[in-house]
Amino acid sequence: MSQNSEKRRVVITGMGVTTPVGIGVDNFWASLKAGKCGYGEAKSYPTEGLRVTIAAEIDDFAPVLEGLPKHMRQADKYSQYVGASAIEAMKDAGFEGKIEDGHRAACIIGNGSGGITTLEKSYKDLFKYEVKRTHPLTLLRALGSSAASHLSIEFGIFGPTFCITSACSSATHSIGMVFRMIRDGTVDMGLAGGSEASLDWGTTRAWQALYVISQDGCFPFSAKRDGTVLGEGGGVLVLEEYEKAKARGANILAEVKGFGMTADGLDMVNPRVEGAAGAMKEALAESGLQPSDIDYINAHGTATKVNDITETKAIKQVFGEEGAKNVAISSTKSMHGHLLGGGGAVESVACIKAMEDGFIPPTINLDEQDPECDLNYTPNVGVKKDLKYTMCNSLAFGGLNTVLVFGSAPK
């Protein structure tokens, strides 16, 4: 692999998602526009002894699973969600079969906890039911890098292929890394995104012990918010160097304009305003845009007490008090839940569809805003508006901040 000192333009040519509000980009986007709520009482795992019994689950995946290649059907759910999303994204981008030059392609897929449901089942079998041996694929299913490997196998990708694990910033980190690899000439195209499938009894117990998940619902920026709602699913984007995508006649959906990443260096669960603001500033600086150029922000918006106030303050620091009030914001987590390591990919798709469709998705369940969250979060009903540039924020536990800036498809 060679490197080119000239910075190249990077575009999105394909997208795929698997979410609690719809499998496939069209279904997902229709649900966001309609303000559909994707969570309810958990069905896929036992809830006895749990204080929190709601989750944003994917309950119609069986038909999709049957159509996946055998090596993906045998994988953990988090890899299956990535597989389904990648197959949709590659088809959307106009690729069939193996990539022509797999050595010039990358595959970076993020997740927060890998095949944790596989491990929970394995430990339950061993220690509760005292089975004599675990399933032979347990180790491979549990690996955090398995999803990236499955895509490499399926599409013939021989370039950089690995996993990024940075909690709720995992997918956004992954997209940013592929963007920079293409921009700098390391590769010409790549798959990037992330997923999570950690809805089980043990994981819920761990999250509820921190008192950051809600018993009632996901209410970002609301006075009544009391935590997020855990979800499952993910998304994959196809990124390509602009001139090569144009030469092959690809349908270009959007352009990646900039990426920023910072660490708070402060606390594992209490975010720092300067960390989030720094990532937004970095992304804007790389994009060559001013804050006033951004038409829409898909906020991290987890509906936790501290995060929503911190993100609001960070937006004000970057955009200024007046500018912050003028930019449209929403948290689509209010609908699809918090997809953790897959959230940044799904929310990036929301940003791109928002530009394509000229529509800002709403923050549902927002009847009474917290006085400290005093910006325009597009409450309850989406708004039609021409959008040229959008921003996607992912601000993870551990103080790991990532921000992407997207532009409309080049003319």
Three-class SS state of 89: helix
Neighbouring C-alpha atoms within 13 Å toward the C-beta of 24: 9
One of 338, 351, 373, 392 is an active-site residue; which one?
Answer: 338
Residue 16 is given by DSSP the state E
Interatomic CA distance for residues 392 and 44, integer angstroms: 30
Q: What distances in angstroms separate CA 270 from CA 228, 266, 321, 344, one per listed residue?
A: 15, 8, 23, 20
Strands 233-241 and 189-196: antiparallel
**168 a catalytic residue:** yes
Token digits for 254?
């959007």
H/E element, 402: strand 400-408
Token digits for 400?
């790991």
Q: Measured on CA atoms in the order 130, 133, 139, 140, is the torsion positive or negative? A: negative
One of 173, 300, 373, 392 is an active-site residue; which one?
Answer: 300
SS (H, E, C) 290-340: CHHHCCEEECCCCCCHHHHHHHHHHHHHHHCHHHHHHCEEECCHHHHCECH
**351 a catalytic residue:** no
**300 a catalytic residue:** yes
One of 168, 218, 351, 392 is an active-site residue; which one?
Answer: 168
**DSSP letter for each residue of 211-223:** T-B-SS---TTBT
Write out the catalytic residue numbers: 168, 300, 338
